Amino acid sequence: MIFMPKEIQKPEEAQKTIKINKVIEKPKEKENPFMVSTVTGNPSKDLVAISPSQNQNDIKKALEKTMNPKSTADFLKSMSA
């Protein structure tokens, strides 16, 4: 499960403006790969969550594209000290 700020934009708008500053509309779960909910169950709160159950390949791709091997290794080493 991934937690993200509600301000993340709608998927269909992602290619127009890649900025995390727009409010996503709560989708119908069966129609959208994002399974979205607020942390507290209150839509007015500012956090939502998505489940990897329908988009684990997307998550893996995003991890692969954003990973910096040196930074990750440094992080693990530092946290293990």
Residues at the site binding another protein, with contacts judged by CB under 8 A = 1-5, 8-9, 11-15, 18-20, 33-41, 45-47, 49-53, 55-56, 58-67, 69, 71-80
Q: CB-wise, 15 or 30, nearer to another protein? A: 15
Angle at 62 between CA 57 and CA 65, to 5 degrees: 125
List strand residue ranges (DSSP E) for the chain, in order: 2-5, 37-38, 47-50
For residue 10, what are the contacts with CB-CB under 8 A and spacing of at least 6? Answer: 22, 24, 25
Shortest distance, CB of residue 68 to another protein, whole angstroms?
A: 8
Q: How far is the CB of 6 from another protein (least distance, A)?
A: 9
Nearest-approach distance from CB 7 to another protein, in angstroms: 10
